[in-house]
Structure 1
Amino acid sequence: MNSWFGEYSCGMALAVACLMRPSICSLYSETNITMINPSFFPSKMTTAVLCALTLLASNVAAQESAYADLDSCVKSEQVTATAKGAAVGALTGLGASLFGGMKKNDAIKATALGALAGGGIGFVKAYYEATNTCYSKNPGWVPASNITRSATLAQAKKAAKYKPSEGIKTSIMDIDMPESVQSGTASIPMNTKFTVLTPDDAETPVEISRKIYIIENGKEDPMPFTAGKSTEVKTFEPAQHTDTVNFPLSSDFKPGMKLRYEIQMKTEKTPVVSKSKTVTII
């Protein structure tokens, strides 16, 4: 009974998904499945696969909707913030660049308003400030941080030559990001490896701050960090961790401009440690 009900429920969910997104049903068009008849599931494996595909389709639909809402908001805010809308430019798909859900060309087609003449740091600033405004109005759109453990406690202690007498210790080992990217690139990976160690191997809260600066003609201007929370406090177990960031690149970046990423960390008992790295647009 339970098996039949599970199969039937998944079949109905798949039917609803197909009604909402017909393209999903093309996956099964050759099998001549009758959606409302639970007997079409020949095995538990088929049931599991179809359930997984149904869930995936639902998540994709929700993700695409979030992309569209975010991009629409950014366009509107950028027009508002720019005199007569002249700095709108050709916007790359912000949602796609953040989450990697669309190909570059598709992202451009989905969000382009037409490549208007102009450029420079003012246009870039308008883009990031518009994005930040949209996040302020819709906090649920802010991407969650992606921090994972990348080495064991023993490995972290050995690499840092750590001694308990040092007390709580945080250190930023490296920022893995390219030295240069082509103009028109959707996003830039900025992955930071860092270590948190404590004398009693207990967890400890760490404040993380992420900052972005745009450099043109030797002048550096701070910009809103739009790839997640700019500042947050998270509790870490002692080990080596990696903070993964995928920073969206405005299409108004011109060759020769630079972007500097800086990350800072501190605890209640330790001073700020920081590291930065710069990428050049070519």
Structure 2
Amino acid sequence: GFLDLGGHSLLAARLAARVREHFAVPFSIADVFRHSTPAALAAQVRTRGGAGTASVPLSPVPRTGPLPLSPAQQRLWFLHRLEGPSPTYNIPLVLSVNGPLDRDALQLALHDLVDRHETLRTVYPPTDSPSGNGPGADGDDTPHQLILPPGHEAARPVLHLAEPGSDLTEAVRHCFDLATEPPLRTVLFSDGPDHHTLLLLLHHIAGDGASTTPLSRDLAAAYTARLAGRAPEFTPLAGQYVDHAARLQLLLGSPAEPTALAEAQLAHWRE
């Protein structure tokens, strides 16, 4: 069964999404837990054949004009506006480096990382409400994504060097200002020339627990390349997160004009 093999909620979400996309059948995370063996999952796919909605392929959207947020990003943006800058939704990735560390190569590798992943150089400024009255009139403003271009000064992550005796816990509690500050911060702690601790602090609006694996993998690849005096040769990405957010908008519409799929999901939760 799925749980016997070490399955958890993030893997269940990925599996349910793959079933929906590949077989075009309605399938939820709860279905994974209810029908947790491969045989039971296959039986559900056969039973539900033809009942799904048309798949919307992931395709690049123009990087001009206001770019939509995904529903998950909207939730985090709302909480950020409600509470103000807070460390509540920080995701820390702490890496130990044993041996000599080339800070210049690491700084270049961090630049390579944010050049590759648009979500790491994205800010979320408010936009005046569609009514034209602006946020000051009715308290409403609509968020959008602003992707800073590669090489933009504000998009370049600075490798902050921690003062001797600095507390890693305090560094983890940095409060991002999502309207103006990209959601990745890096701090290097050094205990002598051969022992270092690198903190990659990611805000949840740009990733989740599963994001730390590709984050550390791509950083390691970039650092290795920079140590050799060359730029990393990354495999091109099939899409960026903003393309996924745009696809969700096509699938779900807006609160004012939801699609039939969104209406069906809302009706389920209302019931």
Question: Which one has more relative contact order, counting CA pairs under 8 Å at least 6 apart?
Answer: 2
Larger radius of gyration: 1
| TM-score bin, normalised by smaller chain | under 0.3
- More strand per residue: 1 or 2? 1
